[in-house]
Structure 1
Amino acid sequence: MYHCDGQPITHTYISVPGHKLPGMEKLDIDNSSIFQTIRERYGLTVRHAGRWLTAALPDANSIIRMGVSADTPLITIESIAYGHDGSALDYCRAFHNCADAASICNGLVVIDRSVQDIGISGSNQIQK
């Protein structure tokens, strides 16, 4: 969950391959970069990532955690990050409330701070 001025703006689900990242589910990574943790603990880095943006209604868990109504339109960001061997290192699906974020944070919102953390140079593409 990402917050701005104490208000939830992004609810994120992250899945990682357990066979490549054993014990990851037991780590406390609050306020940490998932990609920094993967790099430091497992020695794996991201080579490239794909991202897809769509409009969607929130799922039941996002309604509860974000405090939005079921008919609140959100931006859904899905991404897959790939390691140097071409296999997926993570799958992410995030529900982002742009309306609240713009009013709470005066329009200055970082949707995905992990791009800087993973060091992608020129290969990060938004795909449809």
Structure 2
Amino acid sequence: MFTDDYSDIVIEHFMCPRNVGIINNPNGEGSNGDPQCGDYLDIYIRVENNVIEDISFLVQGCPASIATSSMATEIAKGKTLEEALKITEDDIIEALGGLPENKKHCSNLGVRALRDAIEDYYENLGK
């Protein structure tokens, strides 16, 4: 059964994901997808004074993709860009209380999309 495979935290973030949608006036956007399983994630950030003040996401994918995307935004919110760039897949998995082995790859969606959004933010600064 589904609930036997996931921690309570994963189920909570799947059923009630945080930071879903598109924030107003993002100054960085990133995306990542895994064509093997069809999961795809967009992350939007608003940075002020080098801190991620607001963050949101839209995801298409399995329960683990939704939960890891939600947790990635929760971890990144309020961090400096330098701190956010140090977030790893293992940080997300640990914060969720673990993931089944065959779903651990889902945690890379949030990390890669977040890094892409931060890169986009830096590119927008240079324009």
TM-score by length of 2: 0.27
Looking at CA atoms only, which structure, 1 or 2, has the larger radius of gyration? 1
Q: Which structure's residues are more often helix, by fraction?
A: 2
TM-score by length of 1: 0.27
